Amino acid sequence: MEPQPIQVKKLDDYRWEIPKGARPGMRVPGLIFADEALMKNILSDKSLEQVANVATLPGIVKASMAMPDIHWGYGAPVGGVAATDPEAGGVISPGLIGYDINCGVRLLRTNLTEAEVRPVLRNLVNQLFRDIPCGVGAGGDIKFSKDQERRILTDGAQWIVKQGYGTASDVEHTEARGRLEGADPDKLSDRAYERGKGQVGTLGSGNHFLEVQVVDQIFDEKAAQVFGLREGSVTVMIHSGSRGLGYQVCDDYLEAAGRACAKYGISLVDRQLVCAPVNSPEGRDYLAAMRAAANYAWANRQLLMHRAREVFERIFSQGWTKLGMSLIYDVAHNIAKMESYEMDGKEKTLCVHRKGATRAFPPGHPELPEDYRPLGQPVIIPGDMGRNSYLLLGSAGAITGSFGSACHGAGRVMSRTAAVRSAKGRSIRQELEAKGIIAMARGRAGLDEEQPSAYKDVNDVVRVVHEAGLSKRVARMRPIGVIKG
């Protein structure tokens, strides 16, 4: 017998609740951040069923949460946030983190204006496409030995910078300073090593991209000045993750977590939510492997940024420092972190899962770099390649409302298969070029799958997290050049 559709209760203009009793076994309610229009779209797939399923996990606290970019995912929705209490038997679940561990985004500013870039834009995009490896299985031309790969897994972007591919400022302006402690390369399988071999410094495929953008609106002049942004200035955004290595870590530990469920007597409403107690040997092993994959992803994005800087140097015949290509920030998605929150008047260390969600810490938070501490954490939210992306700042409302989290992008409304089907007889490349956007990809399918209409309008999504008090808008950017796998 098919379960009844999930019933949601409107709490206010930007929050909706799935009552705790909506499905058997729910330990907490569901909480969705959305407005009326976005909720209509969210109700069209089964992602709210997944929100309710996550609410049944052992040790979950407060609520199973979903951001406005929520859509159907493996086990848990993309756009999901959940915190578990290890002291109360709280679990960690690979399906609630995702396959592409620490898929994330970094944003660079420049001193360049659109007027300076537009005459050489095609050459710039062509050179980026030539010099930055992208596509399924693509390998990089900067090679590392097995011992060096282990250092990448333990030390992340910090080790890459020590090899000359960046600066101390890059590390300071990366979430977790580009390295999670407790990573253990020995917790990775030989297959994970094999899949990750040679892929550091590669973009990948799917929704991963490098974009040349132009700031087209400033919302917070003071914050924008701190970041060196002004209307008309050019930025660079990079979106990539842990490549094949992260995918294999997820695969391996889904199997291990399945065995752990049987061992610890954990009953599941969905086998894709296999999990292990955070404090169990199996939970600790997965945390150590996930942290290693996260470090790999930060190293990957650091090397991609190095490559992008080299291309700009070549095109504009100036060093990247003179071009002002400094890193504003790097944020992680698809990750679990041990973080402290006040629960019922007590400080608790929780395991916060963010799957397709971005950390959004407020002003004064001790984990922020000193120069940003008065402002709050930069929150980077990319949209589709035909509309906009945003820079925001984390707010106090995120700590009390969403475990310091905001959305991570626009969110798909069309499967890749459906997007390819809808692009039949059209040229997405030409449609983008008509808007002044030069896009390059390895084959037509990459652009067809990622066409703008495959995504929600990021402007609508960002308005929700802004109005809900999770993050506040600083600047909006529009793409002018895109490379994809």
What is the per-residue pLDDT across 244-261, written as a single tens digit (0 to 9) for each? 999 999 999 999 999 999
Q: Which domain holds residue 374?
A: 104-253+274-484
pLDDT at 443 over 90: no
Burial class, 137, CB count within 10 angstroms (exposed 0-12 / middle 13-18 / buried 19+): middle
Token pair for 118: 């537009």
User: In this structure, how many other beta carbons lie within 10 angstroms of the beta carbon of residue 21?
Assistant: 8
330 in any annotated domain? yes
What is the per-residue pLDDT across 405-433, written as a single tens digit (0 to 9) for each? 999 999 999 999 999 999 999 999 999 99
56 in any annotated domain? no
Q: Distance between CA atoms of 56 and 342, rounded to whole angstroms? A: 22
H helices of 329-457, where? 396-402, 416-422, 428-434, 444-449
Over residues 111-131, the mean pLDDT reads 97
Over residues 120-140, the mean pLDDT reads 88
466 in any annotated domain? yes
pLDDT at 3 over 90: no
pLDDT given for residue 135 in this prediction: 75
CATH number at residue 227: 3.90.1860.10
218 in any annotated domain? yes
Q: In terms of Cα–Cα distance, which of 290, 293, 295, 292 is closest to 161?
A: 295
174 in any annotated domain? yes
Catalytic residues: 408
What sign results for the dihedral spanned by CA atoms 263, 268, 272, 278?
A: negative
Over residues 61-71, the mean pLDDT reads 97
pLDDT given for residue 101 in this prediction: 98
What is the per-residue pLDDT across 250-290, written as a single tens digit (0 to 9) for each? 999 999 999 999 999 999 999 999 999 999 999 999 999 99
pLDDT given for residue 335 in this prediction: 98
Per DSSP, the chain holds a count of helices (H) and strands (E) of 15, 19
pLDDT tier at 24, thresholds 50, 70, 90? very high
122 in any annotated domain? yes
Burial class, 319, CB count within 10 angstroms (exposed 0-12 / middle 13-18 / buried 19+): exposed
379 in any annotated domain? yes
What's the mean pLDDT when you consider all of the chain?
96
Q: In terms of Cα–Cα distance, which of 455, 385, 334, 447 is closest to 210?
A: 385
pLDDT given for residue 282 in this prediction: 98
H/E stretch holding 51 reads: helix 47-54
Over residues 91-112, the mean pLDDT reads 98
pLDDT at 167 over 60: yes
Mapped onto helix, strand or coil, the DSSP state of residue 142 is coil
pLDDT at 1 over 60: no
pLDDT at 138 over 70: no
Asked if 307 and 210 count as a contact pair (C-beta separation under 8 A), the reply is no
What is the per-residue pLDDT across 351-400, written as a single tens digit (0 to 9) for each? 999 999 999 999 999 999 999 999 999 999 999 999 999 999 999 999 99
H/E stretch holding 310 reads: helix 281-316
H helices of 231-280, where? 243-264
What sign results for the dihedral spanned by CA atoms 233, 208, 284, 27?
A: positive
Over residues 119-142, the mean pLDDT reads 88
What is the domain count for the chain? 1
pLDDT given for residue 142 in this prediction: 82
Q: Distance between CA atoms of 238 and 485, rounded to whole angstroms? A: 12
- Strand 233-240 to strand 104-113: parallel, antiparallel, or no bridges (unpaired)? antiparallel
Over residues 220-235, the mean pLDDT reads 98
Percent of the chain with pLDDT over 70: 99
DSSP state letter for 403: S
End-to-end, the C-alpha distance of the chain in Å comes to: 42
Which value, to the nearest 10 degrees, does the dihedral of the CA atoms of residues 97, 103, 49, 46 take? Answer: -150
Asked if 212 and 260 count as a contact pair (C-beta separation under 8 A), the reply is no
User: In this structure, how many other beta carbons lie within 10 angstroms of the beta carbon of residue 3?
Assistant: 10
400 in any annotated domain? yes
Q: Distance between CA atoms of 92 and 95, rounded to whole angstroms? A: 9
pLDDT tier at 206, thresholds 50, 70, 90? confident
Residue type, 158: Q
Token pair for 215: 């700031």
Q: What distance lies between CA 60 and its chain's CA centroid?
A: 22
Over residues 63-90, the mean pLDDT reads 97
Beta bridge partners of 277: 91
